[in-house]
Chains A and B, each alone.
Chain A
């Protein structure tokens, strides 16, 4: 199974994602430069975290016009699993592959800490191995992760179970103090209507080995490997 990790100028979590796919999971992994037009036969696409194009204008606003995004869109339209992490999530939002937008964090500070998120649906390729409402401890690191969508859009996302992750406390309760950035309805991650494109602000790739303090992020990557393996059996 092959992971494609898209590299934008300013991506800085691309190597972490590559490391997890290649060395932790033992899968094939390949970097794809944002000016490329082909995903070279990848089975999974990851848009990594970082500061694409320096976050100029708006986070992800310029990256969405990169040539590789046409290939990512076609891959997603074909049902291929796409995971956007942090800046990758912002790129997916700007590209319209996911709904909503990001605002500056409510308290205007860059937040860099371990948080808890609750898995709200196991019905995506990246959460099939989670247990319903499983609480994961995963780090966040962002200045603009304050998820916004109009109330009617939020209602629709909730109704269609497109909210995939929500900020909660260690017990799995969504309280305001556990919401690190002011996100609407404590949304930490969403998926598209077809459920194959998932984006989240937390960094699961930074929580895949014990030495990093948490292995809770690994389940996302194991899920997609499991989902694709099951598909081909």
Chain B
């Protein structure tokens, strides 16, 4: 089973890269772009037998390593058998 993990800076944390990308888009004439937040995307291939197991494992991995809870939050999507979607604060 595959788990997709999206890590983003918390809304309260300034994102210098996102702000620079937004500026670049404005200079290209994309005035409709209000804001850009840059994040990270991970695909985990997991040897597990259930969606619950995949979710628990992906949560633990995101908590321990993929995201720094001081500045980042994450969201998990499961791909494959009976995929469920989970979200962390």
Which chain B residues in 66-84 approach chain A with CB under 8 Å? 66, 68, 70-71
**Chain B interfacial residues counted at CB < 8 A:** 13
- Residues of B with C-beta under 8 A to A94: 68
> Within the complex, which residue of B9, B16, B66, B68 is in contact with A108, where a contact is CB–CB below 8 Å?
B16
In terms of DSSP, what is the predominant structure of the interface of chain A? Answer: loop
**Contact B16 A101, beta carbon cutoff 8 Å:** no
- Whether the pair B70, A108 counts as a contact (CB closer than 8 A) is no
- A105 CB–B CB distance under 8 Å: yes
Contacts of A107 in B (CB 8 A): 16
Residues of chain B whose beta carbon lies under 8 Å from any beta carbon of chain A: 9, 12-17, 20, 65-66, 68, 70-71
User: Which A40-60 residues sit within 8 Å CB-CB of chain B?
Assistant: 57-58
Do B65 and A57 touch across chains, with their CB atoms under 8 A apart? yes
Beyond A101-B68, A146-B16, 7 extra complex contacts between A and B, CB < 8 Å: A93-B70, A94-B68, A104-B17, A106-B16, A108-B17, A148-B70, A182-B14
A103 and B13 within 8 A (CB):
yes
Q: Which residues of A contact B66 (CB under 8 A)?
A: 57
Q: How far is the CA of A105 from the CA of B9 in the complex (A)?
A: 15
**A149 an interface residue at 8 Å Cβ cutoff?**
yes
In whole angstroms, how far apart are the Cα atoms of A207 and B13 in the complex? 33
CB distance from B15 to the nearest CB of A (A): 8
A65's nearest neighbour on chain B, judged by CB, is B65
- Asked if A101 contacts B17 (CB within 8 A), the reply is no
**Quick one: which of B12, B15, B65, B70 contacts A101, CB cutoff 8 A?**
B70
Asked if A100 is an interface residue, CB under 8 A from chain B, the answer is yes
The answer for the CA separation of A125 and B14 in the assembled complex, in Å, is 33
Whether A108 contacts B13 in the complex (CB less than 8 A), given A58-B68, A61-B65, comes out as no
